[in-house]
């Protein structure tokens, strides 16, 4: 039996696809182009907390800890976890809640409605606007600020560092170099 020469050749290496994330400026632009206060609050919360679509769509207003800026969410596998948010998102959420009488749901639309709103916003801005893009933006911007993968994993409710690495693939050497401080001084 003769050796097949094709078996001696290494398979070509396929580059890892880099999925989009937004810069701070792009994120501000997307929020500014949102049609209404609710949509601005949704986008801000997505980016600030790295929430998955199902987590965001099912937020109960009673699960918001305003003092610590945390939201108790139900994650994959029906697990409960906390998601952080910042001051600007807090302001948008409070303004939204002052206009919308929320009992058991924070939003007046479901996850399907949120997806439709995001697609409309993508056409309007020309920028990627979906829950995963905002989740990658959350992870990438934290990494660019010097937050390590273990903390990003915990803040974003990922179960493994390898998932964080997939979400932060857009972070370049130059981004990391800005955080570098010489070891020997």
pLDDT band at 170 (very low <50, low <70, confident <90, very high): confident
Partners of 83 in beta bridges: 71
* 107 touches 118 (CB < 8 A): no
Counts for the chain of helices (H) and strands (E), in that order: 9, 3
β-sheet with 80-84: strand ranges across? 64-65, 70-74, 80-84
Q: What whole-number distance in Å separates Cα of residue 49 and Cα of residue 113?
A: 20
Alpha-carbon distance of 66 to 70, in angstroms, equals 7
The share of the chain scoring above pLDDT 90, in percent, equals: 67
CATH annotation of 19-179: 1.10.443.10
Of these ranges, 15-29, 151-165, 167-181, the one predicted with the greatest mean pLDDT is 151-165
Instruction: Tell me the pTM.
Output: 0.85
182 φ/ψ sector (left φ>0, alpha ψ -120 to 50, else beta): beta
How many CA atoms, within 13 angstroms, populate the side-chain half-sphere of residue 180?
A: 9
Residue 114 has pLDDT above 60, yes or no: yes
pLDDT in tens, 48-63: 999 999 999 999 999 9
Give helix 24-33 / helix 37-49 axis angle, nearest 10°.
160
**What is the domain partition of the chain in residue ranges?**
19-179
Task: Tokens for 142, please give them.
Answer: 């934290």
């Amino acid at each position: 039996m003769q050796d097949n020469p094709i078996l001696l050749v290494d398979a070509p290496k396929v580059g890892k696809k880099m999925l989009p994330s937004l810069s701070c400026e792009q994120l501000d632009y997307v929020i500014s182009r949102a049609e209404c206060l609710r949509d601005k609050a949704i986008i801000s919360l997505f980016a600030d907390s790295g929430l998955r679509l199902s987590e965001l769509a099912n937020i109960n207003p009673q699960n918001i800890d305003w003092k610590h800026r945390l939201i108790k969410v139900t994650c994959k596998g029906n697990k409960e976890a906390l998601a952080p948010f910042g001051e600007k998102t807090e302001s948008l959420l409070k303004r939204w809640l002052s206009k919308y009488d929320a009992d058991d749901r924070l939003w007046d639309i479901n996850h399907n409605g949120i997806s439709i709103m995001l697609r409309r916003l993508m056409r309007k801005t020309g920028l990627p606007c979906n829950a995963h893009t905002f989740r990658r933006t959350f992870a990438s911007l934290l990494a660019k600020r010097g937050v390590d993968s273990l903390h990003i994993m915990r803040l974003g409710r990922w179960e493994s560092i390898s998932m964080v690495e997939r979400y932060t693939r857009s972070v370049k050497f130059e981004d990391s170099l800005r955080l570098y401080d010489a070891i020997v001084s």
